[in-house]
Amino acid sequence: MEELNLNQNLRWRQARVFSCKKRFIIVVAGRRWGKTRLALWRLVVNAFSGNDRVCYYVAPNYRQSKRIAWGVLKQLVPIEARCRSSEQELSIQLHNGSIIQLHGADNFDSLRGVGLDFVVLDECYPTEKVAHFSLAPRLVSIIFMNFTSLPSRGVIGKLFTFEPRTAATSPQTN
């Protein structure tokens, strides 16, 4: 098989996130920043980085996973690199044995029992329970997780909620 070109044109902020070597990355950015596309690209690159890797993309529900990510994922994975694709299972198997599969957080059972190499939790505000109950016991085997969400929602919103300071609560500056 000939060599595949996996280069993408990323904006500098996306490239900075993409090249980060941290195990957990939280992306807090507005609409149209490219959070989902960047997360899917990391998923694809991770699937190609070794043999027999299991990579999941998890959206709040299965339907949303299909609507948001399936089309983009099919664009990102070259046809010649695919061993098989399944529209019903929302999965792509690569020639190196790796599997990329899309899931919904609304079906906890679909997330249990599989050893994962890479997980993306996209739009994680409704998926808090998934992270705690279904994925947390397997964090040892997960190399990278990417949480993306709108800044005002859920866990991410709670982490980055800023209250306006009044003169009484503002630090003194001299």
DSSP states of 12-41: HHHHHHHT---SEEEEE--TTS-HHHHHHH
Give CA–CA dist 4/2, Å, rounded: 6
Average pLDDT (71-87) is: 93
- φ/ψ of residue 57, rounded to 5: -115, 125
pTM for this structure? 0.74
| The predicted structure's pLDDT at residue 82 | 94
Q: Which CATH number fits domain 22-158: 3.30.565.10, 3.30.1360.200, 3.40.50.720, 3.40.50.300?
A: 3.40.50.300
| The predicted structure's pLDDT at residue 132 | 45
- Torsion, Cα 149 151 156 160, to 10 degrees, reads 160
103-159: pLDDT as tens digits: 988 877 777 777 888 888 887 654 455 454 455 555 444 444 555 555 555 555 554
